[in-house]
Amino acid sequence: MRKKFLFALTAMMLIACANSTPAKSNRLQNSNLTGWSQLEIPRLTISRSQQIIEHTGYTVSYNHDWRIPNWVAYELTDREVAGDQPRADKFLPDPLVYGDPVVTSDYTKSGYDRGHMAPAGDMKWSEQAMRESFYMTNICPQNRSNNAGDWKDLEELARDLAQRYKSIYICCGPIVTDSSQTIGTKRKIVIPQSFYKVFLRQKHDGSWTSIGFVMPNAPGNRPLMTYMLSVDEVEQLTGIDFFYNLPDSVENIIEADYTISDWIVR
């Protein structure tokens, strides 16, 4: 089933690419960005509760009002994907969070999964990283079908991309609206309307390319390409400035559009 999914996705991407014009990122040449670090870390562009917490495998911007993250960001490499650390499966309150931390029982009988933003499958390279991926600051109320279906497919695509291209930068999180509801009794946890994920990688010619995905927090079984957006479009939906550590001359071009062929796992 896994191979069939990737084959189908690749075929659909190639068809779409053949029917579209090349994105600007294909023409961007800049190989002088050595030494840049933390390219995955974004910044908020609107006023919002935020506590930045750095863990072994990821950095999280935790929203104390929502009791879920604004964003979770990390670099994923091919060596990390090849790790063999067993899954932890023990959800824990984050010891670094200020105030009254969310605990796993806040989700009990809510009807929602404890949905990882930085997935445990990306943290197999370290026992500590694996354990910390189960901190509740990395968790959102997620529709069970979405968590085990299309969102899982997107997580698997990220690992395949990291293996293929050696390294990708990832930032993901929830999209909350005024109509978003909550779960929990003692601690009200906001239920996201949808989730986003953005990818960045450097190509062999030294240029950069990016792509975004936005997926409803609802049941669905659709090709991943139906969720694709430019990073600029994801920024408009989230109030977050992604990959701002890149020079503006690079960031402005690669975030305006995406090239599907840059994200095919061959």
List residues with catalytic annotation: 116
Asked if residues 224 and 212 have their Cβ atoms less than 8 Å apart, the reply is no
| Single-letter amino acid, residue 191 | I
Name the nearest CA neighbour of 161 among 117, 203, 107, 128. 203
Q: Distance between CA 21 and CA 17 in Å, rounded?
A: 8
Asked if residues 113 and 141 have their Cβ atoms less than 8 Å apart, the reply is yes
Measuring CA to CA, how many Å separate 212 from each of 32, 35, 48?
24, 25, 22
Q: Distance between CA 30 and CA 203 in Å, rounded?
A: 10
Asked if residues 119 and 80 have their Cβ atoms less than 8 Å apart, the reply is no
What DSSP line would sit under 38-107, residue for residue?
-TT--EESS----EEEE-SS-EEEEETTTTEEEEEEEEEEHHHHT--PPP----B--TTS-SS---GGGG
The H or E element that residue 214 is part of is strand 208-216
Q: Distance between CA 169 and CA 96 in Å, rounded?
A: 24
